[in-house]
Chain A
């Protein structure tokens, strides 16, 4: 085992430093939103650059910090170390950091009289830090603790305004569910530890897959119960149905920028955790590694957990996407509609875990990647449009596409991408994912069929929103009264860029550009994701 230099943790240290700087500035009275937001954005940009460099993104090669020799070496497999540097993890780190960056950028355009900027940006950085740490995990406890770092930060983020009763209710709900989820996950981890005497993910997976094991403390059944607890516990984070009910209320009640972060970022930690915990027991049999000869015996391959887990995730995937889509059909409020659509998109991602071939994993990664731009972007547009005086109901969006042409185009692009219309990244990701399931043959084809039927179903509600935005006449526009005026304070100056603000305009513009750019030419990203997935499978 190689000792990792501190420099390997540059992104995490940058985030931590930025978070501490934000809190420090806030506590000494430098509370200008632009300043604190700028620090957060700078920290996230640097961290993202560093991760991209580690991923081999050539223009940033000079920034690379991960010692090349240590990348994709399975420290954790038998050694029981806490962290692994894998390209798979780096890919997710890049995705998490992009989400954090988009949200931070957009939030620099919040009305500058708003209070709590320090809390907001600091917590945003800490939540992102938790996610990037999770992406390094090689140990179940480390993973769950990193998720908790994210979790605790996001509970506070949801309620950070402290004024809004809906936000507080959402925060409380999320906290309680989060506590339950953590308890279940840790209990599952405990059962696994009781069975196999380790919390190293690689070792656990290996033990779970091989018939002859070192002295057992429990039985296979106990381990399976432990895995079941983990499915449920992490399932809350993923918002897999039936563990999804909290998410809609929280996305709806939270400040919209926070909803953007939750759906684009913290949900993805759950997906990542699923992959990390379950890929080993699922995949060991499909790609038998060189025999693991550890004294005193060589272990024989035993497929005991493979099929039950695959079936479990297949069922979870189909139920999640179907329920998410069907419920989304019935929504009349924009944020709730997006929340349910977010649930259904998580269902698509789970297909990748059930199929668990390199193409399918790459497809799931791509889906996670795409989701950042389309769903985070969509919530950011919702926040922008709300700032321009449009109500929260879908019906309030009548004629929005014509009143605000640029925001309209951006939102239309995001919806078309979510629906999987070609030339958008959402189409490419679904195409790759579903064709990977077809390619895997067997009963996985039916997962692809279920996914396709669902994506066809989802077009119903996305097209309805498009129809409302473009084809219906706006209701007579009430003169938008800025919130400040109602409270009797001085009217805040209108934001630049048509009232949307510079940072938010950039964030929305970037998302839209990414949707089309990666939709038309996905090759570079797809190749990178494919190699990350292949590496991951080679490690097993």
Chain B
């Protein structure tokens, strides 16, 4: 593959966003075209990646560096590049962008702004996944905040303003901490620029104590996005109050920013900090895993249940990262991809249940299957995927994570394993109450999924199956990254 495909893709999204904002009621067509173009560009990235010239490598491909700000003491580049980890997450970005546009096809409240903000969020996420310079990374990181603030605050539920503000403030404080930690890393290590390669090389010379302090600061900075307990309280508010499309992007993409950031800018830059701080990470991960699972059990609101189960799943991602092993890192990336697909599907399900039946309260619903069989099928697919049924996407990811945990810390694996049982329990119980039994709640005759929602959810369900059966479609690419260099 030749040519600056990443910059072309960024430009596509940028121009697309601007045009969408201006397009008014035609915005959805523009957004669809942009999503299609972006997916095509991602396909081109994959093709370029498989070319034998690259082989199994740990360096970045498609990379491009242009000086941006350069004064005597500060050198900032526009630097982008891909490795296996970012490639998979970019794919997730493209998929979720397309399905979000599809799902909200009939949005009538300020469609220009809605689709424009969706594209802008995806632009920010894409930028985060490909940026290879501290400042550029931070710019994209913050670009995500502003559209999401408006998505939650304008299109959201009854407590949307509170949720939007809380989301914005929590994550902004965290990102500022992250920026300080990264800058201190760069300046104290004597890196010649803020470029990833230069910082990563220079940082190896930092004293272990410094690395630990910086890593813990980064853990906080990225952890709020994860989110880790006790900095998770913005998540249920934001996810529940956000409109369905917003929840999809929040859970599917924004949480992945934390995971990706911790891998790229934490694990890769400060490995010795991670090694020393690992017990702290384990502790935080276990607390998040258990907390997320237990609190999910007690939820009556379907959307809130999915939101809390995200805390559980992202806790496993953190655990897998903390293992600092080849298998663990592979599992972390797989899990993030899987959770992106599955949680998107489940949030769409809860959105559709809400506007078909007028409520998301699990206990006041029942007998959905005979009334809306397709919606029920989607609910089951999503739930079964989320609880880790083999042949669905989460299974290979969770299995790898458990295997890696066993390899590294032995019997502690019982903690995540135990919560898998709890997860299975609350999903099965939810399905039992909501999908089957006598009809309860909502109209006796309900319309099944409208076409846009069917397309979006169908695509996600299909992907969950395809990648569940053939996880190597992802693993093959993820391996072209630092994953191969770890013990």
Question: Contacts A463-B169, A527-B71 given: A416-B146 contact, CB under 8 Å?
Answer: yes
**Residues of chain A within 8 A of B173, CB atoms compared:** 456, 459
B176 touches A455 (CB 8 A): yes
Q: Is the CB of A448 within 8 A of B180?
A: yes
Nearest chain A CB to B78 CB, angstrom units? 10
Knowing A459-B172, A530-B72 touch, does A421 contact B146 (C-beta < 8 A)?
A: yes
User: In chain B, what residue has the closest Cβ to A471?
Assistant: B153
A359 and B184 alpha carbons, distance in the complex (Å): 16
- For residue A432, give the distance in angstroms from its CB to the closest CB of chain B: 7
Is the beta-carbon distance between A467 and B165 smaller than 8 angstroms? yes
Residues of B within 8 A of A471 (CB): 150, 153-154, 160-161, 164
Q: Is the CB of B161 within 8 A of A463?
A: no
**At the interface, yes or no: A452 with Cβ under 8 Å from chain B?**
yes
A456–B71 touching, CB < 8 Å: no
**Which residues from B are CB-within-8-Å of A460?**
169
Interface string of B121-152 (1 = CB under 8 A from A): 00000000000000100110011011001100
Asked whether any CB of chain A lies closer than 8 Å to the CB of B446, the reply is: no
A30 at the interface (CB under 8 A from B): no
Q: Is the pair A422, B169 in contact by a Cβ cutoff of 8 Å?
A: no
Interface residues of B in 178-226 (CB under 8 A from A): 179-180, 183-184, 187-188
Q: A463-B149, A470-B153, A470-B154 are in contact. Are A435 and B169 (CB under 8 A)?
A: no
CB-defined contacts of B143 to chain A, threshold 8 Å = 422-423
- Whether B73 is near chain A, meaning CB under 8 Å from some CB there, is yes
CB <8 Å contact, A530 and B187: no
Interface residues of A in 114-136 (CB under 8 A from B): none
Hey, which chain A residues are within 8 Å of B74, CB to CB? 359, 432, 435, 439
Q: Are B71 and A470 in contact (CB-based, < 8 A)?
A: no
Q: Are A463 and B168 in contact (CB-based, < 8 A)?
A: yes
**Chain A hits for B150, CB < 8 A:** 470-471
With contact pairs A358-B72, A467-B153 given, residues A459 and B142 touching in the complex (Cβ less than 8 Å): no
Contact (Cβ within 8 A) A467 B183: no
- Cβ proximity bits A439-467 to B, threshold 8 Å, 1 near / 0 not: 10100010011001101100110011011
Q: Are B179 and A452 in contact (CB under 8 A)?
A: yes
* A231 lies within 8 A of chain B by Cβ: no
Contact between A362 and B71 (Cβ–Cβ < 8 Å)?
A: yes
Q: Which B87-135 residues sit within 8 Å CB-CB of chain A?
A: 135
Across the interface, do A438 and B184 meet the contact criterion of CB distance under 8 Å? yes
Distance of A422 Cα from B73 Cα, bound (Å)? 20
A527 to B, closest residue via Cβ = B71
Determine if B2 is an interface residue (Cβ-Cβ < 8 Å): no
Tell me the smallest distance from the CB of B68 to a CB of chain A, in Å: 7
Given A435-B74, A471-B164, also A422-B138 (CB < 8 A): yes
Across-interface contacts of B53 in A (CB, < 8 A): none
Q: Are A423 and B69 in contact (CB under 8 A)?
A: no
Complex contact A467–B138 (CB within 8 A)? no
Task: Contact check, A423 vs B139: say whether CB atoms are below 8 A apart.
Answer: yes
B168 CB to closest chain A CB, in angstroms?
5
**Is there an interface contact between B153 and A439, defined as CB atoms closer than 8 Å?**
no
For A421, list chain B residues within 8 Å (CB): 142, 145-146
B77 vs chain A, min Cβ distance (A): 12
Q: Does A522 contact B (CB under 8 A)?
A: yes
Tell me the bound Cα distance from A452 to B180 in angstroms: 8
B168 touching A530 by the CB < 8 A rule?
Answer: no
Which residue in A435, A464, A527 is a CB contact (below 8 Å) of B187? Answer: A435
Residues in B whose Cβ lies below 8 Å from that of A455: 176
Minimum CB–CB distance from A155 to chain B (whole Å) comes to: 39
Q: In the complex the two chains form, is A452's CB within 8 Å of B168's CB?
A: no
The answer to whether the Cβ of A523 comes within 8 Å of any Cβ in the partner chain is yes
Known interface pairs A467-B153, A527-B71, A530-B72; A449-B165 also in contact (CB < 8 Å)? no
Interchain CA distance A428-B135 in the complex, whole Å: 10
Report the minimum CB–CB distance from A411 to chain B (whole Å): 14
B70 touches A523 (CB 8 A): yes
Q: Is A372 an interface residue (CB 8 A)?
A: no
Interface string of B9-33 (1 = CB under 8 A from A): 0000000000000000000000000
Residue A95 interfacial (CB < 8 Å): no
Does A526 contact B71, Cβ atoms closer than 8 Å? yes
Contact of A467 among B72, B145, B164, B180 (CB under 8 A): B164
Q: Is A472 an interface residue (CB 8 A)?
A: yes
In the complex, A471→B154 CA distance in Å? 6
Let me know if B142 and A452 touch, CB within 8 A: no
Residues on B with C-beta less than 8 A from A435 are 74, 183, 187
Q: State which residues 461-504 of A face B: CB under 8 Å.
A: 463-464, 466-467, 470-472
* Residue pair B165, A438 in contact (C-beta under 8 Å): no
Q: How far is the CA of A436 from the CA of B69 in the complex (A)?
A: 14
A243 within 8 Å of B (CB atoms): no
A510-526: which have CB < 8 Å to B? 521-523, 526
Q: Which chain A residues border B138 with CB–CB below 8 Å?
A: 422
**B142 and A422: CB pair below 8 A?**
yes
Residues of B within 8 A of A470 (CB): 150, 153-154
A9 interface residue per 8 A CB criterion: no
**A428→B176 CA distance, assembly (Å):** 14
Q: Which residues of chain B come closer than 8 Å to A436, judged between CB atoms?
A: 73
**Do residues B164 and A456 form an inter-chain contact, with CB atoms below 8 A?**
no
Residues of chain B contacted by A521 (CB below 8 angstroms): 68
Q: When the two chains form the complex, which single residue of B70, B161, B168 contacts A472, counting CB atoms closer than 8 Å?
A: B161
**Closest chain A residue to B180, Cβ basis:** A452
- Shortest A426–chain B CB gap in Å is 12
Cβ of A7 to closest chain B Cβ, rounded Å = 32
A359 to B173, CA, bound (A): 25
**CB atoms of B183 and A522 under 8 A apart:** no
- In the bound assembly, the distance between CA atoms of A214 and B139 in angstroms comes to 54
In the complex, which of the residues A441, A464, A523 contacts B165, with contact meaning CB atoms closer than 8 Å?
A: A464
Least distance between B189 CB and chain A CB atoms (Å):
12
Residue on B with the closest CB to A440? B187
The reply to whether B168 and A439 form a contact with Cβ atoms under 8 Å apart is: no
In-complex Cβ contact of B73 among A439, A441, A449 (8 A): A439
Q: Is A246 an interface residue (CB 8 A)?
A: no
Q: Does A431 contact B (CB under 8 A)?
A: yes
Q: How far is the CA of A101 from the CA of B168 in the complex (A)?
A: 35
A530 touches B179 (CB 8 A): no
Separation of A359 and B69 alpha carbons in the complex (Å) = 13
Taking a contact as CB atoms under 8 Å apart, the answer to whether B187 and A438 are in contact is yes
Kindly report which residue of chain A lies nearest to residue B70, judged by CB atoms.
Answer: A523
Is A445 a contact of B164 with CB atoms below 8 Å?
no
Q: Which chain A positions have C-beta within 8 A of B135?
A: 431
- Which residue on B lies nearest to A521, using beta carbons? B68
Closest Cβ of chain B to A532, distance in Å, is 12
Q: Across the interface, do A459 and B71 meet the contact criterion of CB distance under 8 Å?
A: no
CB <8 Å contact, A523 and B69: yes
Closest to B142 in A: A422
CA distance A359 to B75 in the complex (A): 12
In angstroms, Cα B154 to Cα A467, docked, is: 9
- Tell me if B73 and A522 are in contact (CB < 8 A): no
- Residues from chain B with a CB closer than 8 A to the CB of A526 are 69, 71
Contact B73 A456 (CB under 8 A): no
Q: Which residues of B contact A527 (CB under 8 A)?
A: 70-71
Q: For B69, what are the chain A residues with a Cβ–Cβ distance below 8 Å?
A: 428, 522-523, 526
Interface residues of A in 231-245 (CB under 8 A from B): none
- In the complex, the answer to whether B176 meets A452 with C-beta atoms within 8 Å is yes
CB-CB under 8 A from A358, the residues of chain B are 72-73
How far apart are A116's CB and chain B's nearest CB, in angstroms? 41
Interface of A toward B, CB cutoff 8 Å: 358-359, 362, 416, 421-423, 428, 431-432, 434-436, 438-439, 441, 445, 448-449, 452-453, 455-456, 459-460, 463-464, 466-467, 470-472, 521-523, 526-527, 530, 534
15 of the cross-chain contacts (CB-CB < 8 Å) are A422-B138, A431-B135, A432-B74, A434-B183, A435-B74, A435-B187, A441-B187, A441-B188, A448-B180, A452-B179, A459-B169, A463-B165, A470-B150, A523-B68, A534-B72
13 more CB-based (< 8 A) A-B contacts, given A422-B138, A456-B176? A359-B71, A422-B142, A441-B187, A452-B179, A456-B172, A463-B169, A467-B153, A470-B153, A471-B160, A472-B161, A523-B69, A523-B70, A527-B71
Closest 4 CB pairs of A and B: A422-B139, A471-B153, A456-B176, A530-B71
